[in-house]
Amino acid sequence: MDQTARFQLPFLAPGQVQKELQVNESLQRIDMLLCALVEGPPLDNPPAGPAIGQAFLVGDAPVGEWAGHAGVIAGFTDGGWRFVAPPDGVQVLNRATGEAMIRRNSTWEAGVMHVQEIQVDGRKVLGGRQPQILAPAGGSLVDLEARAAISELIASLQAHGLIDD
């Protein structure tokens, strides 16, 4: 095996000449991936005049210097473009929108969170969906039906953590 499994970082070989080339290549890739920041959503056309250090998500039909690199992260370095194929689970921050994007099922998801609950200061503020609250029906005592429906609504909001118990 001559590279890491997830990000294809090159390993040094025993007795290798010019080890600094492998180390520098690994450092360039790590720099792209550590606290990854991309300039926007996936693009098929490389930007004109990128700055050193900028990274981009390559779209599904790349052209030009990006041809043949669909779905990767492209980072511009002093040595030109470097490409890293992101495995599922990699997360980047989209500079243009401020949204986190995560690689899931070989595609980028933006603005989607998969969580069981959200807590603020140790208190649940949002949890799993609760059963539907049925609308009041029938009866002649509208006030009692309304109170029962409102009580169910309050209980559901409390169960979701949206209001205090």
Distance CA 161, CA 2 (A): 51
Q: Is residue 145 domain-resident?
A: yes
Q: 106 with 123, same domain?
A: no
Mean pLDDT, all residues of the chain: 85
In a domain, 36, yes or no: yes
Q: Which of 56-70, 78-92, 129-143 has the highest mean pLDDT?
A: 56-70
75 and 125 in a single domain? The answer is no
The reply to whether 95 and 58 lie within a common domain is: yes
pLDDT, residue 155, reads 86
Q: Provide CB contacts within 8 A for 53, sequence distance 6+.
A: 31, 75, 76, 77
- Residues 6-63 have pLDDT tens digits of 777 778 888 888 888 888 878 877 777 777 899 999 999 999 999 999 999 999 999 9
Mean pLDDT over 65-88 rounds to 93
pLDDT for res 133: 66
Evaluate whether residue 11 is within a structural domain: no
Same-domain check for residues 31 and 62: yes
Are 47 and 124 found together in one domain? no
Average pLDDT over residues 136-154: 76
Query: Which of 69, 88, 110 is the C-terminal boundary of a domain?
Result: 110
Gap between the Cα atoms of 83 and 30, Å rounded: 11
Does residue 37 lie within any of the structural domains?
yes
pLDDT value of residue 117 = 86
pLDDT at 95: 93
pLDDT of residue 64: 96
Same structural domain, 100 and 137: no
Q: Label residue 3 by pLDDT band (50, 70, 90).
A: confident
Residue 41 lies in a domain: yes
Considering only CA atoms, which of 111, 106, 77, 113 is closest in space to residue 90?
106
Q: Is residue 135 part of a domain?
A: yes
The total domain count for the chain is: 2
Does 58 reside within a domain? yes
**Full residue range of the structural domain in which residue 127 is found:** 118-159
Choice between 85 and 129, residue whose per-residue pLDDT is larger: 85
Task: Please check whether residue 1 lies inside any domain of the structure.
Answer: no
> Looking at residues 156-160, what average pLDDT do you find?
81
Question: Are 66 and 123 found together in one domain?
Answer: no
